[in-house]
């Protein structure tokens, strides 16, 4: 299991044990992290699972692919460390990953 930390917009912290191969979005939904709506269910067809990857983790998480970049155009308050959590696969190298949930989703 890989440890993920979600920080809600109000500062509430959610520490989650995530199964490798799942996505950051799936684990947010399973653990009722507020602010992750995931309206498309993880198909990269909306921007309602937008998160900010902690600066210390951006290189390890990597850059968004073209389709994700297109969907981020619909997200609220996009930043250089913005990602759609449905596109981040959990793996051992992400143990300790911290993501922040924006004030609202696009």
Whether domain 1-95 has CATH 1.10.287.3510: the reply is no
- Has residue 106 got a pLDDT over 90? no
Length of the chain: 106
Asked if 14 and 31 touch (Cβ cutoff 8 Å), the reply is yes
- Has residue 1 got a pLDDT over 90? yes
Nearest 10 degrees: Cα torsion 68, 70, 76, 78? 70
pLDDT tens-digit map of 35-90: 999 999 999 999 999 999 999 999 999 999 999 999 999 999 999 999 999 999 99
- The domain locations on the chain are 1-95
Q: pTM of the entire structure?
A: 0.95
């Amino acid at each position: 299991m890989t440890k993920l930390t979600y920080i809600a917009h109000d500062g509430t912290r959610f520490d989650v044990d995530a199964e490798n191969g799942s996505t950051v979005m799936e684990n947010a939904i399973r653990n009722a992290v507020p602010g992750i709506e995931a309206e498309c269910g993880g198909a990269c067809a909306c921007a309602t699972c937008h998160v900010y990857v902690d600066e210390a983790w951006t290189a390890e998480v990597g850059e968004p692919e073209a389709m994700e970049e297109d969907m981020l155009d619909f997200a609220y308050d996009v930043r250089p460390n913005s990602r759609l959590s449905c596109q981040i696969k959990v793996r051992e190298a992400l143990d300790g990953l911290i993501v922040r949930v924006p004030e609202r989703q696009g």
